[in-house]
Amino acid sequence: MEKMTHPVAASKAELPHASITIGIDVSKDHLDAARHPGGDTVRVANTRKGQTALLRWIGDIKAVARVVFEPTGPYHRTLEERLAAVGIPQVKVNPRQARRFAEATGKLAKTDRVDALMLARYGALLDPVARPVRTDLQNRLAELVAARRSLMRDRTATLNRLKTLTIGLLQRHARHRLRQIEAQVTSLDAATDALVAEDAHLSRRWDVLASIGVVCGRGRNPTLSRGRA
């Protein structure tokens, strides 16, 4: 674990009653964390061992109000689950919002350590609300919903392209692609139905939304799995 301290960092003893925000810059290989106020930073590998060291570092800090990070697809998922498991409130910040905050505060230097410090300051000054972590089932449902959306966009593009094609071979290819998409959507719908059935509460919500026409198609409703970023 690579540990650094900001030149003007206050010691933990000097801030016994402070509400501390931890910012974490997440990448495939590393997790860079920083605290605000204080400015202490630490870098660990984005592995189970590195995350354990980071949780220990966070655990040694008193009065942690929240941990702030940007969602990075698969790279933050395990960290998110482990923070939730030990009851640490966490906030996922939209990268565009974080960028605007960095611009507004003049902190545009692009390094992992600076990003972590910026995220910590963002959380401390703007006081964003921590949201519940999505369950594994919700994460899987979100993947299925995203895949279906992608297929429907592909279907629309293929239909529009088909209208302009004049060569028979290309027309056949487009129709073949449309049949593929239809089969894949049917498969995704079946997988989604099976997944929703695993959770009674989610299944009831799904049925209610379908009954009032909120959901479209075969009742695939992305809002059930989206969560807050």
One domain, residues 94 and 74:
yes
What letters, b where the CB count within 10 A reaches 16 and e where it falls short, cover 183-199?
ebbeebbebbeebbeeb
- In this structure, the answer to whether residues 64 and 46 fall within a common structural domain is yes
Q: Does some domain include residue 20?
A: yes
Q: Which helix (H) or strand (E) holds 30?
A: strand 30-36
Is residue 169, in this structure, part of any structural domain at all? Answer: yes
Same domain for 11 and 112, yes or no, is yes
DSSP character string of 47-91: SHHHHHHHHHHHHTSSSEEEEEE---GGGTHHHHHHHHHTT--EE
> Domain range spanning residue 53?
2-126
What is residue 11's predicted lDDT score, i.e. its pLDDT?
36
For residues 66 and 131, the answer to whether their CB atoms sit within 8 Å is no
Domain boundary among the residues 60, 91, 126 is at 126
Q: Are residues 142 and 56 in the same domain?
A: no
What pLDDT score was predicted for residue 43?
96
Residues 79 and 165 in one domain: no
The reply to whether 76 and 187 lie within a common domain is: no
Residue 87 lies in a domain: yes
Question: What pLDDT was estimated at residue 214?
Answer: 52
pLDDT at 61: 84
Beta bridge partners of 68: 23, 91
- Asked whether residue 91 falls in the same domain as residue 198, the answer is no
User: Which residue ranges of the chain lie beneath pLDDT 50?
Assistant: 4-17, 216, 219-229
pLDDT for 110: 75
- Total number of residues shown for the chain: 229
Q: 161 and 96 in one domain?
A: no
CATH code for the domain of 29: 3.30.420.40
| Nearest Cα residue to 46 out of 89, 1, 88 | 1
Q: Is residue 131 part of a domain?
A: no
Residue pair 18/37 in contact by the 8 Å Cβ criterion: yes
Same domain, 34 and 96: yes
Same domain, 151 and 217: yes
Last residue of a domain, one of 126, 157, 192: 126
31: in domain: yes
The predicted pLDDT at position 138 comes to 83
